[in-house]
Amino acid sequence: MTERKPMNLQRLLDMHARREKIAMLTCYDASFAHVLDEAGVDVMLIGDSLGNVLHGAESTVAVSMDSMLYHTRSVARGNTHAWIVGDLPFDSYHASKEEAWRNAAQLFKLGAHMVKLEGGGWVNETVHFLTERGIPVCGHLGFTPQTVTALGGFKVQGRSEAGAALLKRHAKELVEAGAQMLVLEMVPSALAKEITESLSVPVIGIGAGVGCSGQVLVLHDMLGISHGRHPRFVRNFMQGSASIQEAVARYVQEVKAGTFPVDAVHGF
Ligand code: KIV
């Protein structure tokens, strides 16, 4: 049996190039990190969705840098193989690229391999600043939870011709600035597929269809234990599974086989 090697950036880029699907899930603590790692998850995201699923908040806006650091360290301690992405929370990268660097560096020192930030256009300079100095960056476009108020609620993005053109431009610019992975959230499947095929870096979808390089879901949503509204793109993998380990393993297997998501059921 070949030994499983820790994930790295080059392998993720190669997987995208070979159209080999990438399975990503959010994770917030060491015990779950161990379960996800054993189940073969490629990428763990310490998402600021922890504000919703751990803290019970309405949005991710109040999540502090301290919370992100605490949970990033916990996940890193429980993980052996997965690539770890840490979210930069609201108000941690907005004021200046220097402030973004200081916050990203803290996540990096505690075990994140890459940081994720939301938005297009205005973040390009920051992405360039971080990547030039050695911190890999994942962009996040489409529905961006930190700006839910400005977006007027949980809405699919890129439906209009102008909206689609803007998303395509922002994705291209992010990669030109140095981003080496993108998350696309709540975007029409056909548009997400077009963006994925146009880029040299993996595009991980959430509510963006099966044509992306991989998928991500919020862990508590796919285990059916999150409270409140359940978006259309979520599937409860605990249904029909005997354990959390089995549910996560089924998620990984279905993402890799391209049987999750089903665009007609989970897509826009
Ligand atoms: O915070 C988070 O969990 C995320 C995912 C929704 C991609 O950003």
Share of the chain above pLDDT 70, in %: 100
Q: CA–CA separation, 29 vs 13, rounded Å?
A: 26
pLDDT in tens, 165-209: 999 999 999 999 999 999 999 999 999 999 999 999 999 999 999
Q: Please determine, for residue 263, whether its predicted confidence score (pLDDT) is greater than 90.
A: yes
Cis previous bond, 145, omega within 30: no
Q: Please determine, for residue 229, whether its predicted confidence score (pLDDT) is greater than 80.
A: no
Single-letter amino acid code for the residue at 214: G
Q: Please determine, for residue 230, whether its predicted confidence score (pLDDT) is greater than 90.
A: no
Of these residues, 132, 173, 185, 197, which one is catalytic? Answer: 185
What's the 3 CA to ligand 1 centre distance in angstroms? 30
What's the 118 CA to ligand 1 centre distance in angstroms? 10
Asked if 226 and 220 touch (Cβ cutoff 8 Å), the reply is: yes
Query: For residue 247, what are the CA distances in angstroms to 40, 43, 83, 223, 254?
Result: 12, 16, 20, 7, 11
Residue identifier of the C-alpha nearest atom 5 of ligand 1 = 47
Q: Please determine, for residue 87, whether its predicted confidence score (pLDDT) is greater than 70.
A: yes
Atom of ligand 1 nearest to the CA of 49: 1
Helix (H, G, I), strand (E, B) or coil at 196: helix
Q: CA–CA separation, 239 vs 224, rounded Å?
A: 8
pLDDT for the residue 2: 73
Phi and psi torsions of 141, nearest 5°: -125, 170
What's the 54 CA to ligand 1 centre distance in angstroms? 13
Q: What is the pTM (predicted TM-score) of this model?
A: 0.97
What's the 183 CA to ligand 1 centre distance in angstroms? 8
Helix (H, G, I), strand (E, B) or coil at 136: coil
Asked if 158 and 143 touch (Cβ cutoff 8 Å), the reply is: no
Within 10 angstroms of residue 258's Cβ, the number of other Cβ atoms is 13
Residue identifier of the C-alpha nearest atom 2 of ligand 1 = 47
Question: Residue with structure tokens 């600021």?
Answer: 48
Classify residue 19 by its DSSP letter: T
Q: CA–CA separation, 170 vs 116, rounded Å?
A: 15
* Token digits of residue 93: 């990268």
- Examine the residue annotation and report whether 99 is marked as an active-site residue of this protein: no
- Which residues line the pocket of ligand 1, CB cutoff 6 A? 26, 45, 47-49, 87, 140, 183, 185, 206, 216, 218
Residue identifier of the C-alpha nearest atom 3 of ligand 1 = 47
Within 10 angstroms of residue 265's Cβ, the number of other Cβ atoms is 10
pLDDT (average), residues 92-98:
98
Atom of ligand 1 nearest to the CA of 218: 3
pLDDT for the residue 33: 98
Query: For residue 194, what are the CA distances in angstroms to 137, 186, 203?
Result: 21, 14, 11
Please state which of the ranges 81-95, 128-142, 189-203, 219-233 shows the lowest mean pLDDT.
219-233
Share of the chain above pLDDT 90, in %: 97
Asked if 28 and 46 touch (Cβ cutoff 8 Å), the reply is: yes
What's the 48 CA to ligand 1 centre distance in angstroms? 6
pLDDT in tens, 12-65: 999 999 999 999 999 999 999 999 999 999 999 999 999 999 999 999 999 999
The mean pLDDT of the chain is 97
pLDDT for the residue 224: 96
Residue identifier of the C-alpha nearest atom 4 of ligand 1 = 47
Q: Please determine, for residue 1, whether its predicted confidence score (pLDDT) is greater than 70.
A: no
